[in-house]
Structure 1
Amino acid sequence: MSEKSAQKRKYILEKAREVFAEKGFKDVTMKDVVEACDISRGGLYLYFSSTEEIFLAVLSDSSDDDDDEAIANALNNDATAGDMLALFLKEQKKEILRKKNSLVRACYEYFSTVDVPAQDNPLRKQFDTAVTIVQALIENGVQSGEFFCADPYGCARNLMYVVEGLKVSAKTIGVSEAAVDRELLYILEGLVPPEE
């Protein structure tokens, strides 16, 4: 793919993300994406054949580069495991409370109606990556004596299930910032070593 084509594809995905964030998945048509991108229908079909293909590309391209960059910066600055975990959770909290450009509604509309094998599911890949990152942070904290945890993998998995639940709750029943802080802190308190 030429540089110009790659830029055009990236532009289409950015605009499509806005459309999916606004309308969900089920109400988006190719016409909506054409209008958002201000391109011809044929121009769009050069890159994508369906809204499903566009949506999956949007999900694959939104693998939270900001989280990776923030954690890499923390690692380079000799931050403690607790500092890095706090930074990771701060990014997760921003995503939970995000009002605009959130794909949560679209994701749940799509994945509740389509059976996608786990190995092909971009949300599963993002979840598993997050669990791996949190597990590594907890293990580092245990080694340094900063954390106490008999099962870092189980704790990391549980933490990410809480984060995912908060994302859904924020879009369905409403969740305050204080509620997000309370739920995340509850899990983090379990990592504090017992006082001797």
Structure 2
Amino acid sequence: MGEKSEQKKKYILDKARTVFSEKGYKNVTMKDIVDACDISRGGLYLYFSSTEELFLAVLSDDVTTDDDEAIGAALSGEASAGDMLALFLKEQKKEILRKKNNLTVATYEYFSVHKVSAKDNPLKNQFDTAVRIVEKLIENGVQTGEFYCENPLGCARNLMYVVEGLKISSKTIGISEDAIDRELMYVLEGLVPDDEGA
């Protein structure tokens, strides 16, 4: 694909993300995307053949961008493990609280009716990448004495399950910023060594 085609595809993905975040997944039609992009139906079909293909492309685009930046930051070693973990969780919290361009509802609508293999599931890939990042940060913190943890992988998985639960709660039952802070701190408190040493 040429540069102009790539730019057009990126434009369609950006507009589609907004439409999916506003309407969910199941209520979006190709006409909605055509209208949002102000292009012809044929122009849209040059790039995407269905709302499903388009939605998965939007998810994959989000996952790739976020993961590349987060992995680079986590492995840079320029800040302490605690500072990096705090920064990572701050970004997760922003996503939980984000009202505009939030794909949580659309994502859960899609995956509640479409069975996707684990290797093709961008959410699973995003979750697994986040677990690896947190695990690496915890391991680094254990090596420097910032953290105490006998099972960094288990702790990282647990933390990301909490984050995913908070994302769902924010869209279904509502959750305050204080409640998010409290739940994340509860998990993190287990990493801080006590005064007697571990």
TM range (shorter): over 0.9
Q: Which amino acid aligns with 1:50?
A: S
Alignment deviations for residues 76-112 of structure 1 (CA, whole Å, 9 cap, x no partner) = 4721000000000000000000011000000000000
Conserved in 2, the CA contact under 8 Å of 1:67 and 1:91? no
Partner of 1:191: 191
Q: Does 1:139 align with 2:139?
A: yes
Q: How much identity, in percent, do the aligned residues show?
A: 75
- Deviation at residue 195 of structure 1 after TM alignment: 1.3
Number of residue pairs matched?
A: 196
| Aligned pairs for 1:48-59 within 5 A | 48-59=48-59
TM (norm. structure 2) is: 0.95
Change (3 A) 1:97 1:64: farther
**For the aligned residues, what is the CA RMSD?**
1.4
| CA pair 97-34 structure 1, distance change in 2 beyond 3 A | same
Between the aligned partners of 1:76 and 1:49, the Cα distance in structure 2 is 40
1:23-172 → structure 2 map (5 Å cutoff): 23-63=23-63, 65-66=65-66, 68-69=68-69, 72-73=72-73, 76=76, 78-172=78-172
* TM, length-normalised to structure 1: 0.96
Q: What corresponds to 1:19 in structure 2?
A: 19
Find the aligned partners of 1:89 and 1:74 in 2 and give their Cα distance.
Answer: 12
Contact 2:159–2:187, Cα closer than 8 Å, also in 1:
yes
Residue 175 (1) aligns with residue 175 (2): yes
Residue 129 to residue 70, structure 1, CA distance change in 2 (3 Å): closer
Q: Structure 2: any 5+ residue segments left out of the alignment?
A: none
Alignment partner, residue 7 of structure 2: 7
Structure 1's consecutive aligned runs of 4 or more residues displaced over 6 angstroms after TM superposition are none
Letter in 1 for 2:142: V
